[in-house]
Structure 1
């Protein structure tokens, strides 16, 4: 039996705080964002944060080869909803359940397997909108609140902490590699996918995406896509009609200790440039085949995943400074990233 098991929470924890909604009042102006009350105990802040976001969380039910249930969060008052790609992938039709009780047909506006994000549109106006936070300012151990529709239980709230940041998942756990993920111990289950991960200020810091489970009887590790990446995705779709991905233009090969010894390489970690695409940012910057990249923007590059993460944190047009070993000499190469071509 496999010890690790990937589980998309996008197709449906029992609520630790759901009763709190019945106990309190919430006022959200149509088309507006909720504001929180003043500071109190941490429990008071958790309850206030959950109440603020609760009206913006939707349930998504799809019909198709991968039909099932997931979650989403309203990001614009005119019916724009952010969710996960796998929630709506291959959907022939879908319905969106709003917090006010309405069930509306939805349309997939865009989806991107590379970022695991998607946008859904419903024909509605003056909807409550979630406030987006800043995932670049997250601190390990800060409180994290997950809201979604696990196992069909609508708008369930669970509470934990940000367990780690900059996590990367690939291989048998994933259909596509994801990096820079937020890890949380707030319980995430099937149906949470696409729902918000929220901080104590009621701001969305991530989009709950998957859970990795260990042996039977052990808990799972939840992972969320940082909201700053989602913000870029929304802007790209609205401005360009597609997701804009930064591009370096090389074929990298990981270097490990065995490879370094076999080929007498000067470092036991990093990536070796195998090929360079013609007229790519790498080619224009003067990178060469067999260069060894050991750092990007001052951070060590141990493998291809580190380099990919450094690139994904930037936008086309940004300068990425690479530290390269060439013929035994250490060089600094500045590369201006470009938009990834469709065929690359």
Structure 2
């Protein structure tokens, strides 16, 4: 039966983004369509192509509504708002995922945008609010950070972390006031563990691409003081989507926070070694200070090399992530985070086969 006779009961922000596109496939597969997607005008054409690829050119499972979370009422006109009267579940994924983002756009999208989406959830009186946060609301918390942690007086590596923290504080305040919400905190999301597919080359991909840009016989990276004690917590997209799709469909997950992280991540040196082995490169780690390394990264970026100074802060990141709530909830489901070594070959192969993918965030 066509979805054209039904009003959307699910509203999703963050389409046609990398996670949002994958999640919507899962929601449609379990019969949640038609799904209303809030789409910024500049991404309308991309969203139409993505919707056709997922639901078919004549499918009505995905309905696009032009708007913007930075605007009150999500930038929707009265007619569009009337179309959403039946919405009882809202997935909020839209955010600026950029470690080097300036404060103004980060606050507009991540903080005020989340506040506007929360207001829309209240106006629609939704039964479920599904919010995608990040493990890095931890900032530079010195110790083990679990689902029970949030406001710990932590400092932050960048405006992305700070504004995602402030946004989650808003969500948790609404939860305490009665909003039936569930919060998901992915760690650093990379490509699919089976295919390596990813939407952009950011985060750990700067390290991978920098290694690939050098001679295989002798490639150089920087080793920061304290890197041996730091962990790089990476998770593949399919694990994140599997977990959200499963947990969001259960009633017992309301009012819970789930960290979607690797319970046994690699140390930074072991992570570099894993990438080097998969790439077939001999890598030498040269000791250096953070300030000097960031200057070198800025110079490399000016020369067109794949380098982002903001990523250096994660090579001596003091926080370790634990996910006891997630592990309890997913016990017996078969949904587990695979070890990085089991899929790093796929990530490297995808980068080699798709050199033209960029690192720009959707905003």
TM-score of the superposed pair, with normalisation by structure 1: 0.28
Structure number with the higher helix fraction is 2
TM-score of the superposed pair, with normalisation by structure 2: 0.26
Which one scores higher on RCO, CA 8 angstroms, separation ≥ 6?
2
Larger Rg: 1
